[in-house]
């Protein structure tokens, strides 16, 4: 074998080298509603013409990623959703909005035994709800397979969003968040997998434990993973769980409906 042919054969034996750089990245977009704007990133399937419709994953970032740069909010999900194997096996749309500084995805009133969900969503959450409706009209999204996940502040946002639309999302993955335990009867039949770090001092695991117990008391069977030696960065481990995406994409809604 000549030297040039030998080197060519070596290159062929490493087909994955540099492929991630060639993958389409998240589009950088802006949703405008009235006088307000909501930056968001949108990842599209590699081959959108290969099927009639695709799932949609909504990701809600934490407090540290707030702003207007339209960059920070995807740093915790790049590894998961830009992985070539995941993109081929779990083709989907992914939308990641960015919450403005000093604003939250969800705000709760406090009571002695927990949190009370506000009757109306925050402005960024309301705009996200509008954005979801727009995406449903613009892209071939499978309305029976819309999922939501979020970390920290976004974990609270995840609980808030599914409580407002308990019949809308096929599955939810709130990470190191919390919510209103009184909404548990609305969510008892929803596929939910909760994650938290036992050593989390920013959002104590009591928040997730309370929601899980409330769901169980209401007759639900949520999944709960608590990492014994992990602090507030439990999303790092949750998004590396090998069964997370297969579990999530296996969930379907029996009845399709649009967010209004």
Average pLDDT on 126-137 reads 98
Give the tens place of pLDDT for each residue, 77-100.
Answer: 999 999 999 999 999 999 999 999
pLDDT above 50 for 257: no
pLDDT at 16: 38
| C-alpha dihedral sign at 70, 74, 78, 79 | positive
Residue 10 maps to a domain: no
Question: Residue 237: inside a domain, yes or no?
Answer: yes
Domain count along the chain? 1
> How many other CB atoms are found less than 10 A from the CB of residue 33?
13
Q: What backbone phi and psi angles, to 5 degrees, belong to 233?
A: -95, 40
Q: Rounded distance, CA 186 to CA 177, Å?
A: 18
Report yes or no on 126 lying in a domain: yes
> Phi/psi at 110 (nearest 5 deg)?
-105, 140
Asked if residue 199 belongs to a domain, the reply is: yes
What digits encode the pLDDT tens for the residues 55-80?
999 999 999 999 999 999 999 999 99
- Radius of gyration (C-alpha) of the chain in whole angstroms: 19
What does the alpha-carbon distance between residue 155 and residue 174 come to, in Å, rounded to a whole number? 4
CA-to-CA separations, 123 to 47, 59, 97, 109, 192, in angstroms, rounded = 34, 17, 13, 16, 25
Residue 40: inside a domain, yes or no?
A: yes
Query: Could you list the residue range(s) of the whole structural domain that residue 62 is in?
Result: 27-249
pLDDT at 51: 66
pLDDT value for 122: 97
Report the CATH number at residue 38. Answer: 3.40.50.1820
Percent residues over pLDDT 70 in the chain: 88
Return the pLDDT at 56.
98
Q: What CA–CA distance (Å, rounded) separates 121 from 116? A: 12
* Dihedral in degrees, nearest 10, Cα atoms 153, 184, 240, 100: -20
Res 45: pLDDT: 93
Question: Does 138 fall in a domain?
Answer: yes
In this prediction, residue 240 has a pLDDT band, given cuts at 50, 70 and 90, of very high
Q: Where are the alpha helices (DSSP H) in 90-183?
A: 123-138, 153-164
Which one has a higher pLDDT value, 113 or 231? Answer: 231
Quickly list H helices, the chain: 3-12, 19-22, 78-81, 84-89, 123-138, 153-164, 184-187, 206-217, 234-238, 244-249
Q: Is residue 4 part of a domain?
A: no
Q: How far apart, in whole angstroms, are the C-alpha atoms of residue 208 and residue 186?
A: 17
The answer to whether residue 11 is domain-embedded is no
What's this model's pTM, rounded to 2 decimal places? Answer: 0.88
Structure tokens, 105: 């995805």
Q: Could you give the CA distance from residue 186 to residue 252 in angstroms, rounded to a whole number?
A: 17
Taking all residues of the chain, what is their mean pLDDT, rounded to a whole number? Answer: 89
């Amino acid at each position: 074998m000549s030297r040039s042919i030998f080197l060519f054969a070596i290159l062929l034996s490493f087909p994955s080298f540099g492929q991630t750089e060639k993958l389409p990245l998240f589009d950088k977009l802006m949703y405008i509603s009235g006088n307000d704007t909501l930056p968001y990133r949108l990842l599209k399937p590699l081959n959108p013409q290969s099927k009639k419709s695709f799932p949609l994953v909504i990701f809600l970032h934490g407090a540290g990623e707030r702003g207007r740069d339209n960059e920070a909010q995807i740093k915790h999900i790049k590894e998961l959703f830009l992985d070539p194997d995941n993109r081929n096996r779990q083709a989907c749309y992914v939308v990641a909005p960015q919450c403005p500084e000093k604003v939250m995805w969800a705000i709760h009133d406090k009571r002695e035994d927990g949190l009370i969900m506000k009757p109306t969503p925050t402005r960024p959450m309301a705009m996200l709800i509008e954005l979801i409706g727009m995406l449903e009209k613009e892209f071939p999204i499978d309305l029976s397979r819309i999922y939501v996940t979020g970390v920290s502040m976004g974990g609270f946002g995840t609980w808030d969003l599914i409580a407002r639309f308990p019949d809308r999302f096929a599955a939810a993955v709130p990470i190191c968040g919390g919510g209103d335990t009184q909404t548990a009867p609305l969510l008892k039949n929803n596929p939910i997998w909760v994650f938290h770090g036992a050593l989390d001092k920013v959002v104590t695991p009591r928040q997730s434990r309370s929601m899980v117990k409330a769901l169980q008391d209401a007759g639900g069977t949520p999944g709960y993973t608590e990492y014994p030696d992990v602090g507030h960065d439990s999303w790092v481990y949750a998004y590396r769980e090998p069964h997370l995406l297969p579990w999530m994409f296996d969930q379907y809604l029996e009845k399709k409906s649009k967010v209004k």
